[in-house]
Structure 1
Amino acid sequence: MRRMGIGLQLFTVRKDLAQDFTGTLRRVAELGYEGVEFAGYGGLPAEELNDLLQQLNLKAIGAHVSLANMKADLNKEMEYLHAIGARYLVCPHIADEDRQSPEAWQSLFDYFAEAGHQVKKKALQFAYHNHAFEFEMKVNDQFVFDAMYASVAPEALQVELDAGWVQYAGHDALQYIAKYAGRLPLLHLKDFKGVVNGHINTVELGEGDIDLPAVIQAGSDAGVEWIIVEQDRCENPPLESIAASYDWLKQNYLSKF
């Protein structure tokens, strides 16, 4: 098995960040996480955030950037990522009103191709993060997820696969990881156990139904660069949840190296 980086999607600790952005990043670093994927920057200027990351020895993997923000000022988003030393600009979600038909999706694919080439010209990489809805509609006789990557060239669009959402959608995450080997630099690692109030019940790593060791092995085989922990909702205080998930990774993954 290859040694992949261990990162955290900061959406997991969004409430803590809102109260103390700097202190929360410091705690994430103290727990052992090597990199972070942003979902907002706490209002910090890029230079200030870069200095903080350097102090904490945290790598900026990239950021989830909304479709609206991409369309409003893509250059601004790219400049910020450059300033904090990040590589990946990731579209994290498509609002329901923007994905009502195959035609709407095809229009998005066209935009992703254009935006992805612009991102590439700036020495960054564009990627897309899935949920479950990409497996609910078909475009050109393929699920939206597959049609997207068939429509847009690999250099313009890479895969950030969320293994939990793939399994929640009723598909085999291991097969999807293998299918996109070489195009899958970022792997979101989440665990879940059933559904609560209509929402996926995300839990700490090792507490749910996903075969995480198999997912990690598949990611290694597929050339994944970063395993990124994400827990959409936490029953426990989020900082305790990410500590438990990191402890699971120490025991079941990092101990192999």
Structure 2
Amino acid sequence: MLDLTRRGLVGAIGLGAVTFPGVGLAAAQPFFARTGLPIGLQLYTLADQAKADLEGTLRAVAAIGFKTIELAGYQGRTPAQLRAAMDAVGLSTPSAHVQVQAQGGESSLDGDLSRLADEAHILGVKRIVMPIFYTPARFDLKPRAGEAFGQVLGRIGGAMTADDWSFNADFLNAKGAVLAKSGLRLAYHNHNPEFRLLADGKPGARTGYEILLARTDPTLVEFEMDAGWVAAAGQDPFALLKAHPGRFTAMHVKDIKATTKPNFVFVQDPTEVGSGMIDWTRLLPAAYAAGVRDFFVEQEPPFAHSRLESVGVSYGYLAGLRA
């Protein structure tokens, strides 16, 4: 079992400065001030209140200090309305999660990509993110008795085969090629089912995630690492960065408690960034050295505080973090 404590994560890669230039060295300035990168927020964290009061939520987010947000749906607004609300408080959205399979009337990756591209340009989005795997048609998304939707996805992810993951990789390549013609980049965001060992996996591709990385075209498909879900799967985010330099361009800065038991079914014990088991003083510089340039705070429920208070705690930690 991988030791996911701060000490264990550091030990897993040895001295960070050896693997990634500058990692582990004392920093004169906080990481984000030194790199000149903004601290972003994945709006999913505040989704309910954003849908109820978009303008007020964005004002609060900007007042905390965030400069960028990553969208997860349009919060019941049009792209033009969203853009106006962001512009009013000085926020931008370089990245957006877009539903994979059409539902609810919003654009999707399996729908009209020209419409999606037009909306992205209105919003100022440069990167479209596939937020979860494409669910094969043979699976029923209807929850069984007592199942939450996350449990449904965990069950389906656990039953997916190497062929299913290959289909997802080919889907990413095809959509990435189309979006590239409109000046947009496509990325894949992980949860933790991707890291389950496959009974039918072939040598060199033992997990769904390995298949996605191996089978996608680096010129067409990027990856957004959700560090919290990587750790929840019992995996080492440092090893992923080291093994695939240049493939990761964005990161969800998500922390989890040490009580999280490694699993592949959408389970974690979440907490504010800096309050959990991930060593951000090592991971942020390692991610930067490997090519990550967009960092978005994200937290899963349940929350110990209000959601807005929690993202404020995470922002304060990151703004002062010397790494």
CA distance change for structure 1 residues 245 and 204 in 2, over 3 Å: closer, same or farther? same
2:306 & 2:75 partners in 1: Cα distance? Answer: 20
Q: Deviations over 1:177-218 (max 9, x none)?
A: 22232222101111101249x830110011111111111111
Instruction: Supply the AA of the counterpart residue of 1:250.
Output: A
Counterparts in 2 of 1:233-244, with a 5 A limit?
A: 233=301, 234-244=303-313
Q: Of 100, 104, 113, which residue of structure 2 is paired with 1:74?
A: 113
1:156 & 1:80 partners in 2: Cα distance? Answer: 20
Q: Which residue of 1 aligns with 2:202?
A: 140
Q: Which residue of 1 aligns with 2:187?
A: 127
Instruction: Supply the AA of the counterpart residue of 1:33.
Output: F
CA distance change for structure 1 residues 100 and 223 in 2, over 3 Å: closer, same or farther? closer
CA root-mean-square deviation: 2.0
Q: Of 74, 79, 92, which residue of structure 2 is paired with 1:59?
A: 92
Q: Which residue of 2 aligns with 1:168?
A: 232
Report how many aligned residue pairs link the two structures: 254
User: 1:223 deviation in Å?
Assistant: 2.1
CA distance change for structure 1 residues 183 and 4 in 2, over 3 Å: closer, same or farther? farther
Give the TM-score, by structure 1 length.
0.92
Q: Which residue of 2 aligns with 1:12?
A: 45
Larger-gyration structure (1/2): 2
Q: Which residue of 2 aligns with 1:204?
A: 272
Q: Deviations over 1:142-198 (max 9, x none)?
A: 2211211211111211010111111111111111122232222101111101249x8
User: 1:76 deviation in Å?
Assistant: 2.2
2:92 & 2:202 partners in 1: Cα distance? Answer: 39
Asked whether the equivalents of residues 241 and 287 of structure 2 are also in contact (C-alpha less than 8 Å), the reply is yes
1:83 & 1:121 partners in 2: Cα distance? Answer: 16
Q: Which runs of 4+ in 1 moved over 6 A?
A: none
User: With CA pairs under 8 Å and 6+ residues apart, which has the higher RCO, 1 or 2?
Assistant: 2
Instruction: Supply the AA of the counterpart residue of 1:89.
Output: I
Identity of aligned residues (%): 30
Larger relative strand fraction: 1
User: 1:235 deviation in Å?
Assistant: 2.6
Q: Deviations over 1:68-106 (max 9, x none)?
A: 021133322222111111111001112444762211221
Instruction: Supply the AA of the counterpart residue of 2:62.
Output: A
Asked whether the equivalents of residues 127 and 186 of structure 2 are also in contact (C-alpha less than 8 Å), the reply is yes
* Structure 2: tracts of 5 or more residues without a match: 1-33, 102-107, 136-152
1:200 & 1:64 partners in 2: Cα distance? Answer: 21
Q: SS at 1:71's partner residue?
A: coil
Q: Of 147, 150, 153, which residue of structure 1 is paired with 2:217?
A: 153
Q: Which residue of 2 aligns with 1:252?
A: 321
Larger relative helix fraction: 1
Q: Of 149, 173, 185, which residue of structure 2 is paired with 1:113?
A: 173
Give the TM-score, by structure 2 length.
0.74
Q: Of 174, 179, 182, which residue of structure 1 is paired with 2:246?
A: 182
User: 1:137 deviation in Å?
Assistant: 3.6
Asked whether the equivalents of residues 252 and 295 of structure 2 are also in contact (C-alpha less than 8 Å), the reply is yes
CA distance change for structure 1 residues 44 and 184 in 2, over 3 Å: closer, same or farther? same
Q: Which residue of 2 aligns with 1:2?
A: 35
Asked whether the equivalents of residues 54 and 85 of structure 2 are also in contact (C-alpha less than 8 Å), the reply is no
